[in-house]
Each structure stands twice: as structure tokens, then as C-alpha cells.
Structure 1
Amino acid sequence: MNKRKLSLLALSISLVTGQSLAAGFQLNSQSATGIGRAFSGDAVIADNASVLSRNPAAMAMFDRKALSLGLTYAEVDVTIKDVSYGPIDYGSEPDAADNKVIPNIYYIHPINDAFAVGVAAFSNFGTGTDISSLNNSGKPITPVDLFGKTEIVTSNLNLSLSYRINQQFSIGAGLDLIYGEGTLKRNGQITDNPLSETTLVDVEADGWALGGIVGATYEINDKNRLGISYRMSPTFKADGKVEYQGQAYDEIHIPLPNIFQVAGYHELSPKWAVHYTAQHTSWGDFEHITVTGSAPDATVKSYQWQNSWLFSVGGTYQINDTWTARAGYMHDKGVVDEISSLSIPDSDRNWYTAGASYHLNKNATIDFGLAFVRGEDVEVREMSGIPGIGEVVGHTRSDAIYYSMQYSHLF
């Protein structure tokens, strides 16, 4: 890997390395305040600069410069067990994913009463599992095309602009410069004959892509407001080491979904507020991972997922001038349709979250967020392309605990 690749890799690691604990391989870890309220209302609450990750139009609600710096630690528990083909038992992998540290940064700069600009660095997508240990089972035949390492990580660098049309209505748009890195490895001994050792997929690639986001906010009055946004994601293309079935390719193509969301915030009293979000993600666009180049184009993996919704609701309570408490619940629908995968486990998930803000003074706040993410036990049936093997059956579950802290400052 040349120096340019090494520098890009270092940038990616410094921004985010993540294991998905939302539908598909979508991440929900953009802020401590968001985690504490299950991201309910996050596209319109605008209590700190992290609103940039959800809706650029909400920058219009800031009359002062705002900075937010956050860090999330994800304690991930992905279990893949009782994997078998017919009478052959390949065993289990009780620890298929690593714990992760996920940072973020946001800055909003009002230009005048009408315009504001913002910059941000965060992530929307990431997944990482390693079940290559199942290849070392000493069985007469092994589906090495299903057992291996899978990691997809994106880092989103965002530049946004908002415009206040009038006292109630604001719009915004942003450009996403997305850096991504993908690792896919499928290799092992197909049969108990040592000569059957083979490498089917060996990918270590990275690259850049462009996406964007548009949004709007409607402030009904100073106690009630609504927000809407639509994030357009590209088909990500990465180059580097791209080998599939003994052929060298130039690029690997990974389609990313678009994200649409609506959110609301309602202050019921000086102490209480409620908020909510409905979000649609076009995971139906994630059909195939393909490779292109000097050899004929090929499909490495087909998923054919379905579009998904998540719904969240939460509340905020102003305890006193120093402390604010929040809590939330989210139901996140899984994306798997007819084709499931051992390498990217998925199911419906429930989020139970709580958080608090400690106001150091009128300009500085420390935020805390805690989320318990609970998936479901899912039976996975996946077809192997290895001759002599058909449908492989396994059982998966993905749980996590998120611990998040954030510092926000108004200038």
C-alpha cells in the first residue's frame, strides 16, 4: 500500500471504526445527546451542533457559533452459533465483533440573520465481523465462501449551508465527502485435503465518494417545531487489492442507501418536552457487491435487502439550571428479506436509552448518553457456492451497550 493509501487509512481510523448495531450496517452513534434520547427529534431539536448529522436546515436556529466534540464506546456482542450443513456441525463464534470507539465533531458558524455554515465529521455506516475461525473445524467439507472477515467503514466529512426564509421556515443543504474502507476475506481449506486450501475473495480497498443532504425546518412557534431531511448516498467505489476467484480487479462497488427522516419537538411546559422521529432507509438499493476491472465484471455477494423504517420517541426533563435529563425508545426494523447472511447479522432491534446534560455554565455543557441495544435470535439460512454444499444454517444475535460523552460550547 502506498503512502497515500496509508494516510487515508490513518484518517479513517482516526474518525471512526464501527460495528453496525442498526438495520443493515447503518450506525446510530452521532452524538451523546442523540443516544440519550434514542435519536428522537434529532433532526430539529438543535440543542447543540450535532444536529448537523441529521438536518442542515436546523443551523438556522443558532444565533451564536457552536462546537460539539463527542466520543462513543460501543460494547458489541455479536454471536454466531450452531452453524451446520446437514449432519456437519461447524461450531460457533461467540465473539464475532470487536468493541469500538467512535468519535465525532461538529461546528456551526452563523454568518448573519439569514445564513449559517457548518462542518462536521462523523459516520453513518460501519460493520465488522470475523467468523474465519469456523474454517478450522477439520470437517470433510467447509463452505469457505461464507466464513471469513467482513468490514465496511465510512467516514463522512460534511460541509453544509442553511438559509432562513422567514421566522418560521428554514432550508439547508450539505455536501458529504465520504471516505470508506472495505475488507473482505474468504479463504480456507475446503476439504480435509491440504491441497484444497484456496482464496476466493481477498479485498483491502479504500476510496472517496460524494453524497449530499437537504433539509427543512418549520418552527410553528417557540415551543413546537418540525424537521425533515433526505440524505443521498452514492454507490461507493474503492480500489486497492481487489481479488476474486483468482482474478485481479480494479475496483469493488458497494451501494449505500439513502436516508429520509421526519422529526418533531414539542415543549409541554418549562420543564417537560417530548420528541419523535420516523426514518426510512432505502436498503433495497443494497443488492450486490460487485467487482470491475480488466477481468469480466463479477458479483461477489448478493443481499437483496428490503427498505426499513425506524421509529423513536423520547422525553426531556429540565431538572434545574444545572442538570437536564432525557430518555428514549427506538424500534429499528431489520432489512433481511429472502437472502440472509452470516457475515452481516441482522434483526429487528429495540433501543432503551437514557442521558443527561451537565451545564457547566450558560455556554458550556457536558452530555452523557447510555443505550442498551437488544436484537433478536435469528435463524440464518445461506446458500454456499462450494460444490457439494447447499444450504448452511446458523443462528445469530447482535446486542450492544453504547456509552457516550460529548462537550458542547457556544461562542
Structure 2
Amino acid sequence: MVSDSHCRLTRVPGEGAGGFSRVEPIRPVSRWAWAARAMIADMKRQCHTERAASMCFRRFSLCSTAIILGLYPLTVSANGYQNLHQSAQGLGTAYAANGTSIDDISAIYSNPASLTRFPGTHGSFGLTYIMPRDTFENLSATALGGAPVTDGSPAVPSQFLDNTVSGYWYLGRQLSDQLYFGLSFNAPWATESDYTDTAASRYTATTTALTAYNLSPMLAYKVNDRLSVAAALNIQYYTSEFATNLALNPAAPSADTDASADFEGNDLAFGVTLGVEYQANDQWRYGLSYRSKIDHGFDGDVVLSGPDATMGALALAGISAEGSARYDIATPWMLQLGTHGQLTDKLEVYGSATLTGWSAFKDTVIETSNIGTLRVRNGWDDAWYIAVGMGYQVTPETKIFGGIAYDETPTPTEVRNPRAPNADRYYVALGVAHEFRPGRTIKLGWSHTFFDDAPIRLTDENNPGRGTLNGDIKIDADIIMAQYIHEF
């Protein structure tokens, strides 16, 4: 039996902007690797028979979930705040393999109809390590009313996106000749950024941590040897934390007299994913999937903090340090088309096109009981992600793959916000898969992301109640992923 120690996460508290407490894992890579090794060793002892497979199926999911919950949120994912990093083969092909080309059970993330390509019982879990590099240049800001914001040390934020770890797991089980059951756990939407509360951008953003955890049970039906259909229920738990500074005296803004407003809220909501996969002939396969929009309504809290003099002034004004906060955030719909071409017995090509409905991400209106109503203008647009790639079977046990992609930003310049500084981006990626024992495979993926410059041009109109903010954000990132696949 897998012991509790295999799943234990050690954590220490850290201090976010404005004194907001956050929980972060200690040395996540080494801890995750230790837990994974222990889990795999235990499975090898117990999962060698079909009768034991269902018990291992449950243990796999519980232990993997405990590990993964300690790893989010992300700093750099896809445009908007979408997290595409759900498969090593996906990452290693710049997600050209998403839709219908991934040849392990993680294919069910992008298309649940892919389940029918994996008879028997399959499990997989993976780890992603994201290494961003960023600068915020030419920064200038004013407080509400036009007074320049210049004080604070440092006044210009640096490395506001941290290296982070994320994870995921997938399970699939054949129930009959035609019916298949699958289960996945991941976070398809996640982002984090952290600016110091002395930076000139502090009245627009300090801390942001948004993560939508997604548990998806699914059923797939094999209509015939060519056509499969599927549906998944998305059970989504969304955690949100964000903070900003408030200028107590906008005519003479100072970090020494600011108050920090820290917002926190959680919500559970539901959506669906529908998928179809069609094998046109021995050479070509196509996949189409749709992930629904999910609306979240948060009944959370807002906490004000700051120097004693600031808190005393707020108390004299009748403003409570603690209050309620109500706001809505929607995760967008997605429509994806994928294609897979088997050109020879060793060479294959991939392609995918994804339209994400970021127009669902409307203005965020925060109604509080102590500091009134705040508004963040979003006004995002629907955006495309286009990728192509190829794979080559070097030996019966080893495959290499690669890809390139273009990721369109959903964010117009006039509403681009430092909380999620989106820009058009481009990916190059490589990966390898090796089956080291029958039914046991390791996949590794790497990608580099090139970002267009992300100019911030927020005016009083597009940054209501917070003044103006101008600057140029530059980002690039490397991402690596390791994934283990086990066929029981």
C-alpha cells in the first residue's frame, strides 16, 4: 500500500505583498521526484495483475493529486493565463500534437475521444518546470489626479515572474469493447505575478495568483473502428488571490503611507468538454474538441494593511480593515482541431489550431463592503494558437519529436495589465520518448518561448481609480517537462 509519507508535502509560509500570507512548497523538484520514485516502486510491486489494477487506479489518482496541489500556480503559460503544459509530447511539439496526435493517455486533456486509442488500463503523471526571464523598462506612473509616483525602493520591479513547478495526472480504463472511462486532474488556467509594494506600478498591481484546478471524469464510446465520441465533466475549483496598493493621499503618493488591499476568494463551478476523433484512413486521423466556458462567482474577503498611522487614518474615516468582496471571473471556451499524418512507418506529422474565447474575460468588478467598488478593465479578444510538428521513430523503443507554434495575444495594448502581461509569442520545441520496459515509458519535452514586447499604456480611463501606468515589459522563457506513462 502507498504510505501517507509518499504523498506528504512540506510547506513553509511566505509573505506576499501587503503582508498577505502565502503557502509555498519547499524544494518542489526533489520532493516531487522522491514521491514519484516511491509511487512507481510501489506500483511495480502491486499492479502486476489485472485484479490489482483498479485498486492501483485509485491510489495513483489520490497520491498524484496530493503532490500536484502543492505545485501551482504558474508564472508563464500560454496567452491569457491558459496553462497548456499538460503533456511532455505536447510541450515537445509546441502543442502541435494536441487534438489527436499524442500517443499516451495524456491525449485525453485536449480530446477525451482519444481514450479509445488506449485499451486496457493506463496511467500517467508529469512535472513541468518553468524558467521565465523578465524586465520592466521605461516605467512611469501617476496616482489618481496626476501626481507622479516616483518613491519606493526598488521603484522599478525586476524578475516579477518566478521559476515555478506544475503537475498533472491522467487515468484511462477500458470498460467494454466500445466503452472507456477516463479521469484527469490538472490546472488548465493559472497565472502568478508578484511586484514589490514599493514599485511605481503598485497602484495597478502587486500580487496576483489565480489557479483553476480541474478534475474531469469522462466517458468515450467507440462507434466503430474509425469513429469515437466522448464527453467530460469539468469540475473546476478556482482559487484567486490578488493585491494592490491604495494611495492614502493621491496628491502626494508615498509607499510609506500606502495601504495594501488584499483580496481572496474561492469558487466551485462546472463545465463540459466534448470530443470526436475520426480515423479517415491508415494514414490520416482528425480530432475536434470543445471545452465550455465556466463562470465563477466569488464571495471572498478583502483585508487592508499598512503602517500604524495609515491604519489609524482609515479607522478615523470609518473604513474597516476587513470586509467582504464579491466579483466574477470566467474561464473561456476553447475549440480545437487536430490532425495526425503517418507518412511512413517511422515519420509522422502533427498539426493543431485552437481558438480560445477570451472575449468571455470581461471587466472585473469588485464590490466590497469597506472600500466601495473597484473595476479592472479587461476587454480581451478571442485568440488563435497555431502549431505544426513532426515525430520520428528512431528505434522501436525511442521516438524524437519537435514543433513550432504561433500564439496570438488576446490583449489589446490599451488594456494590457502587468498582472498578466500578454503579447504575441512564438514557440520552438523538442522532445524524446523512451519505453525502457514494456508498458513503461518516460517522455521529456523542452520549449523556448519568444515574446513580442508587451507595452503597458494604461490611462485614467482604462485604469479607473488607480492613475496611469506606462512601461515596456520584456519576457522570454524556457520550459521543461518530464512525464511517466504506465500501462497496467
From 479, 482, 486, give the equivalent of 1:402.
Answer: 479
8 Å contact 2:68–2:168 — kept in the other structure? no
2:181 aligned residue:
117
CA distance in structure 1 between the partners assigned to 2:269 and 2:255 by the alignment: 41
Matches within 5 A, 1:301-312: 301-312=376-387
2:19 aligned residue:
none
CA distance in structure 2 between the partners assigned to 1:160 and 1:211 by the alignment: 12
2:7 aligned residue:
none
Aligned: 1:341 with 2:385: no
Aligned: 1:241 with 2:301: yes
8 Å contact 1:180–1:238 — kept in the other structure? no
Could you say if the C-alpha distance between residues 278 and 360 of structure 1 is closer, same or farther in structure 2, counting changes exceeding 3 Å?
A: same
8 Å contact 2:429–2:448 — kept in the other structure? yes
CA distance in structure 1 between the partners assigned to 2:407 and 2:458 by the alignment: 23
Q: Which amino acid aligns with 1:124?
A: P
CA distance in structure 2 between the partners assigned to 1:369 and 1:143 by the alignment: 35
CA distance in structure 2 between the partners assigned to 1:355 and 1:195 by the alignment: 50
8 Å contact 1:26–1:125 — kept in the other structure? yes
Secondary structure of the 2:159 match is coil
CA distance in structure 2 between the partners assigned to 1:14 and 1:283 by the alignment: 27
CA distance in structure 1 between the partners assigned to 2:97 and 2:486 by the alignment: 21
Q: Which amino acid aligns with 1:16?
A: Y
1:276 aligned residue:
351
CA distance in structure 1 between the partners assigned to 2:111 and 2:78 by the alignment: 19
Residue 21 of structure 1 deviates from its aligned partner by 2.6
Secondary structure of the 1:124 match is strand
Could you say if the C-alpha distance between residues 336 and 364 of structure 1 is closer, same or farther in structure 2, counting changes exceeding 3 Å?
A: same
Structure 1 portions without partners, runs of 5+: 1-5, 136-141
Secondary structure of the 1:221 match is coil
1:3 aligned residue:
none
Matches within 5 A, 1:349-360: 349-360=425-436
1:138 aligned residue:
none
CA distance in structure 1 between the partners assigned to 2:399 and 2:116 by the alignment: 23
Secondary structure of the 1:325 match is strand
2:99 aligned residue:
43
Could you say if the C-alpha distance between residues 144 and 19 of structure 1 is closer, same or farther in structure 2, counting changes exceeding 3 Å?
A: closer
Could you say if the C-alpha distance between residues 299 and 223 of structure 1 is closer, same or farther in structure 2, counting changes exceeding 3 Å?
A: farther
CA distance in structure 2 between the partners assigned to 1:334 and 1:193 by the alignment: 34
Matches within 5 A, 1:8-407: 13-14=69-70, 16-85=72-141, 91-135=155-199, 144-187=202-245, 189=247, 190=250, 191-192=252-253, 196-199=257-260, 201-242=261-302, 248-292=323-367, 298-337=373-412, 338-384=414-460, 390-407=467-484
The structure with the greater share of residues assigned to helix is 2
CA distance in structure 1 between the partners assigned to 2:286 and 2:255 by the alignment: 63
8 Å contact 1:134–1:147 — kept in the other structure? no
Residue 143 of structure 1 deviates from its aligned partner by 6.2
Could you say if the C-alpha distance between residues 192 and 62 of structure 1 is closer, same or farther in structure 2, counting changes exceeding 3 Å?
A: closer
Could you say if the C-alpha distance between residues 99 and 165 of structure 1 is closer, same or farther in structure 2, counting changes exceeding 3 Å?
A: same
187-196 or 338-347, which deviates more: 187-196
Secondary structure of the 2:415 match is coil
> What is the percent sequence identity of the aligned residues?
25
1:139 aligned residue:
none
CA distance in structure 2 between the partners assigned to 1:192 and 1:296 by the alignment: 18
Q: Which amino acid aligns with 1:265?
A: H
8 Å contact 1:16–1:122 — kept in the other structure? no
8 Å contact 1:217–1:228 — kept in the other structure? yes
8 Å contact 1:328–1:354 — kept in the other structure? yes
319-328 or 250-259, which deviates more: 250-259
8 Å contact 1:125–1:153 — kept in the other structure? yes
Q: Which amino acid aligns with 1:230?
A: Y
CA distance in structure 2 between the partners assigned to 1:367 and 1:387 by the alignment: 47
CA distance in structure 2 between the partners assigned to 1:92 and 1:373 by the alignment: 24
CA distance in structure 1 between the partners assigned to 2:297 and 2:169 by the alignment: 25
8 Å contact 2:338–2:351 — kept in the other structure? yes
Q: TM-score, normalised by structure 1?
A: 0.89
What CA deviation, in whole Å up to 9, does each residue of 1:305-352 have, x standing for no partner? 111000000000000112100001111001112411122101001111
CA distance in structure 2 between the partners assigned to 1:274 and 1:99 by the alignment: 32
Secondary structure of the 1:93 match is coil
What CA deviation, in whole Å up to 9, does each residue of 1:179-210 have, x standing for no partner? 121111112555356885234x3212222111
Structure 2 portions without partners, runs of 5+: 1-22, 24-64, 143-147, 305-318
Could you say if the C-alpha distance between residues 270 and 389 of structure 1 is closer, same or farther in structure 2, counting changes exceeding 3 Å?
A: closer
Residue 168 of structure 1 deviates from its aligned partner by 1.1
Q: TM-score, normalised by structure 2?
A: 0.75
What CA deviation, in whole Å up to 9, does each residue of 1:350-385 have, x standing for no partner? 111000011113311110000111111222101258
Residue 243 of structure 1 deviates from its aligned partner by 5.6
Residue 290 of structure 1 deviates from its aligned partner by 2.6
Residue 88 of structure 1 deviates from its aligned partner by 5.9
8 Å contact 1:82–1:89 — kept in the other structure? no
Could you say if the C-alpha distance between residues 163 and 350 of structure 1 is closer, same or farther in structure 2, counting changes exceeding 3 Å?
A: same
8 Å contact 1:93–1:133 — kept in the other structure? no
Residue 69 of structure 1 deviates from its aligned partner by 1.1
State the number of aligned residues.
398
Supply the RMSD in Å over aligned alpha carbons.
Answer: 2.8
